[in-house]
Structure 1
Amino acid sequence: MRFISIYNLKPGMVVAKAVYNAEGQMLLNKDVVLTDSYIGRLKELGISGIYIEDNISQGIVIKDVISDETREKARAFVKSTMKQISVNRHVDVQKAREIVDSIIDELLDSHEMLVNLQDIRTKDEYTFGHCVNVSVLSLMMGIALGYDRMKLRELGTGTLLHDIGKVCIPDSILKKPGKLTKDEFDEIKRHTIYGYQMLKENGNISGYSCYIALCHHERPDGKGYPFGLKGDNIHQLARITAICDVYDALTSDRVYRSKMKIPDAVEYLKSMAMSQFDYDLVKIFLKFIALYPVGSGVVLNTGQKAIVVRNNPEMQNRPVVRIIKDEQNGDYEEIDLMEHLSVFIVDTYEV
Structure 2
Amino acid sequence: MSSNSAEIQSEKNPPNGLFYSILGQHPYIPFSPQKPRNAPSVNLNFTNNPSVSTILQSCNGLFLCGNKRSRTFYVYNPTTNRSTLLPEFRRGFPCGKTLAFDPVKSPYYKVVFVRYIVFDQFVRGLTYQIEIYSSEIGGWRIGGVMKSGKLQIDKGVYWNGSIHWLSTGLVGNSWRFHVDSQVFDEMPTPPVQLSSYWRGDNYFLESFDHLHFIEPGTQFNVYEMRRDYSEWFVKYCVDLSPVITAYGVPRGRHQYIFTKLALIRDEKDSILVLRIPEKVLKYDLVDGSFEKLIEFEDYEVNGILRYLDAEGFQYIESLCCV
Hey, which of these two has a bigger chunk of strand by percent?
A: 2
Hey, which of these two has a bigger chunk of helix by percent?
A: 1
Fold equivalence (TM over 0.5): no
After TM superposition, the score normalised by the length of structure 2 is 0.33
After TM superposition, the score normalised by the length of structure 1 is 0.31
